[in-house]
Structure formats: C-alpha cells, structure tokens
Amino acid sequence: MKNGKIFRHLLGDRSGAIAIEFALLGPLLITMMFGVFQSGIYLQNYNAVRSLASDAGRLVMIQDQKGNDMANEDIQSVVRGVAVNAPYLLNTDRLQVTATTQATSRVTGAKEISVRIDYTPSDILPFVDLPETTISYTRPIFVVDAAPAP
C-alpha cells in the first residue's frame, strides 16, 4: 500500500520536468546556435573574398596607370598581403590566390588577367563532422594601355 502512494506521488510530481527537458533539448539548441554562428562566419568570409577580388582589380588598374606593370606573382603576393589586414582578416594558411594572364582577351586592345581566390573558412563546430567548404571567386581584370598623346 505504501508503494502505491509513492508511485502516485511521483507520477504527479513535475518539479524536475524542466531540467529533464533541457537536458534532452539543450544540446540540440546549442548546436543550432553554433550553426547560425558558422553560417555568419561563412557569409562574412564570402563577402571578404569578393571584396578582396574587387580591390585586387582596382590595385592592378591603378598600378598600370602609374606605369607599373605588375607580374602575376606580384599580384598574388600583394593580394595575400592585403587579405590579412582589416577589413578582411583572412587566414593566409587557408587562402590561395592565383593570377593568370589570358592568352586571348575578351576586350580588344586590353590585357586580361584572371584573379582567382580560394578560401576555406575555419570550422567552429569541431564536434560536428561537416564537409570542408571552399569559397572560390574569380574576377577578370582588363588593363588597357594608354594611347600615346597626339
């Protein structure tokens, strides 16, 4: 008889229900929150790679107008140097920059340089086995030689 009272009392007791629910759902909610942070980091890195490619194009065109013809290796090293500073703050160990002069340009009278930037964002969820994602962005740069003055 005494065991029956205790069993009915435990069935009606709700004092630990919240702790048990949190123990079951808490890890899932925390993992989802880290997933949102990971998505934000990915989007920030994607925007940084695109902006870095645009800045590389401006840099090459400005240097060409000043009379400095940059080799592909120079472009690659300058872009890598700019990438580590604000506002980009990219990790150079995860960054690959390739500059290639195209054999035939799509614009008549211009030299076409293709700058490709590959970046692998860091993963803040090491306990979740996600495939590694690489952000790739390619931008053409057209450099037109100035016409001689008449």
Question: 3-class secondary structure for 50-91?
Answer: HHHHHHHHHHHHHHHHCCCCCCHHHHHHHHHHHHCCCCCCCC
Q: Which two tokens stand for residue 111?
A: 């030299």
pLDDT tens digits, 82-130: 999 999 999 999 999 999 999 999 998 899 999 999 999 988 877 777 7
pTM exceeding 0.85: no
Q: Where are the domains of the chain?
A: 13-144
Residues making up the chain, counted from first to last: 150
Q: Which residues contact 138 (CB under 8 A, 6 or more apart)?
A: 53, 114, 115, 116, 117
